[in-house]
Amino acid sequence: MGGKAILFVVLGFSLTFLVIGQNFNRVTLKATDNMTNYANVQISHNIALTGANISCNAFYLDPNWTAGYSNVSCQGGTYTVTYQLMDAVKLIKRITSISTFQGFNGYSLNTYHDTVIVTFQPSRFSRYAYYSTSEGGTIYWATGDTVKGPLQTQDYLRVSGNPVFLGMVGTKLGVIKKNGSSDHPQFLGGLLTGSDVPINSSGVSSVETFALANGFEFAGHDTVYLNFKGDSLKYRYAWNTKDTTKLISTMVPNGVLFVKNGTARIRGTVKGQLTLGCSYVSKGGSVYLDSSITYNTNPITTPSSTDILGVVTQNNFIIEDNKANSNNVAIQGSIYCQTGSFTADNYSTRAYCGYINLLGGIVQATRGAVGIIGGGGTITNGFSKNYSYDRRFMFSAPPNFPNTGAYNVISWYE
Amino acid sequence: MGYATLIDIVGSIIIGGMMLGIILKLSNTASWNVYSNSGELNCQTNLAGMSLMLENDFRKIDYCADYTNIQDPANAIIAADSTSIKFISDVNKVGGMDTIYYYLGPATELNSTANPRDKILYRIVNHDAKMGSDAGITRFYMVYYNAMGDTIHTPVSSTDLPLINDIELNMNIENITIDSSLANSYWRQARLTVPNIKNR
């Protein structure tokens, strides 16, 4: 009898400990499961991210990359990347990276997937607030200068004091500080040294191609006077002749206007999206600003404005030395000078003309001058600068504006 | 019935009582441990769930399924303070931008809980009713950095909002266990990179 009782006691205790042990194990396992599940999700996410980043690098090295990846081993799992052309006209491309990772959660082996989707668009020079191939000798960005958008130079970026750069700054050759360690440039959008974005040497010719396709080309004229009047365009071929007026939408369906082997002289108010190209074959190739050129709807006061202007010149964009430009001048658009500069005519001898109120960006081969600084540190001749970046250029571009040959990310889903 | 039987009965009562006491003590200790461990588990589960939700939302700042509706990254974060942030994102991946607002409520909202420090983390999408999570959060704060890694002071001014490049997320969750001890879990996302606001 005593033996049986002891047996029951032992069995009873064993059962009690088993139940308690089971409870402890359950709680411990759940805690571990919770942790491993979080870790597995993170690993799966990292694998998908790795696939996306490697694909971005492939795009960077070869903008025509379409191959994708299939079941590439990574961090104990695999990723598969597929390529998709979203918009054949705008060349919007997309890659989708999907990870597969098997990890234990509890007693079972679970499969985890994560997805990263990256959308690219062709990078156009209009996205730069400022671009130069050469900084034109030893011109410095100095205290008081503020650049509000992306900046790229193929030269050294020369700084003096504390200039502020709000957008991403890229310089191929590096940064030179005039005063050494006492200079503190503010790169608030980041700094990329070694960044190489050569100017598009076929930018002007590509604009001409589109003008011939479904736009309009002026050919055989030394000078074309273009006066933008909102929906309409008034043009003539000599200063003392009468204007011809046409509706821009019917004259230039794709928004690309071109002056071949001549000089364009522009002024007025632009409505809609327009790119003006100007080429040099044996003469011309420059655009002169006869008077301010602005948008019909100002994007500063009306952010939903769809008015966008691009000027693509073979040589220079020159602010004419005339009465209309003698007391401030407004330029709204992105200016692209393939081999020349953005400059002011007679900048060193003309009187002080107030401010260049630019809303847009300047892309130039060589940094040009628009004024002269006197001994007192103020502008004595030419123009002071009041440059603002049109942030719409981060995503939008004038029609068929020259591209950089690369792509930039416009959307990242993870 | 002699002395031997009496001693057997008394001895049985004593031994039985001791065994019963041991079993009750064991049961009691086991219950305490289970509750205590469950408190830790709840704390950890809440933390993992909250951090997954935060990471999911914050990584999608300025994302839009319809790329033509993507907004200027400079305007992606509408307001930012140490314990609150408002930003735009396509929450349901339907191609339209939504406004998401996270903020930490005051501790006085949860006077009835055992922990005097816990607060509700609210998540409001557009103008929907506010959705709060009483997960035992006692601290939730963010630190903002510009592209050079420098800290941006809070509350972030409207001129500094476009400069936000990385966000540090910190969250502490506490759970008062049965014996009034504290289960404590802390999570930090040291640098949460938001890819869509880097396009500048």
How far apart (Å, rounded) are the C-alpha atoms in residues A83 and A69?
Answer: 9
Domain range for B99: 44-197
Amino acid at A176: I
Residue B105 located in a structural domain: yes
Residue B13 located in a structural domain: no
Interface test with A, best of B36, B44, B199 (most A CBs within 10 A): B199
Residue B29 located in a structural domain: no
Residue A166 located in a structural domain: no
Residue B147 located in a structural domain: yes
ipTM reported for the complex, 2 dp: 0.76
pLDDT tens for each residue of B32-54: 777 777 778 888 888 888 888 89
Residue A154 located in a structural domain: no
Shortest CA distance from A32: residue in chain B: B41
Shortest CA distance from A117: residue in chain B: B65
3-class secondary structure, B199 = coil
Give the CA radius of gyration of chain A: 31
Residues A206, A328, single domain; the answer is: yes
Q: Do A190 and B165 touch (CB under 8 A)?
A: yes
What residues of chain B have any CB closer than 8 angstroms to a CB in chain A?
Answer: 19, 23, 26-27, 30, 33-34, 37-38, 40-41, 44-45, 48, 51-52, 59-60, 63-65, 67, 70, 72-74, 93, 146-148, 162-163, 165, 195-196, 199-200
How far apart (Å, rounded) are the C-alpha atoms in residues A47 and A74?
Answer: 6
Residues A114, A210, single domain; the answer is: no
Shortest CA distance from B66: residue in chain A: A411
Residue A322 located in a structural domain: yes
Give contacts of B31 with chain A, Cβ < 8 Å: none
pLDDT tens for each residue of B79-124: 999 999 999 999 888 888 999 999 999 888 888 888 888 889 999 9
Q: Do B148 and A188 touch (CB under 8 A)?
A: yes
pLDDT of the residue at B1? 60
**Candidate from A9, A20, A414 with C-beta closest to B30:** A20
Phi–psi pair at A250, nearest 5 degrees: -90, -30
- Written as one string, the DSSP assignment of A212-281 is HHHSEEEES-SEEEEEEEETEEEEESSTTS--EEEEHHHH-TTSEEEEESSEEEEEEEE-SEEEEEE-BS
Residue A182 located in a structural domain: no
pLDDT of the residue at A89? 73
Distances (CA, A) of A275 to A189, A216, A263: 29, 11, 15
pLDDT of the residue at A376? 72
Q: How much is the average pLDDT of B157-184?
A: 83
pLDDT tens for each residue of A245-304: 999 999 999 999 999 999 999 999 999 999 999 998 888 899 999 999 999 999 989 888
Residue A81 located in a structural domain: yes
Is A28's Cβ below 8 Å from some Cβ in B? yes
Residues A229, A372, single domain; the answer is: yes
pLDDT tens for each residue of A136-171: 877 888 887 888 889 999 999 998 888 888 888 999
Domain range for A79: 2-124
* Number of structural domains in chain A: 2
The distance of A303 to chain B (nearest Cα, Å) reads 11
* Number of structural domains in chain B: 1
Residue A349 located in a structural domain: yes
Q: How much is the average pLDDT of A382-404?
A: 88
Residue A157 located in a structural domain: no
Residue A114 located in a structural domain: yes
Residue B15 located in a structural domain: no
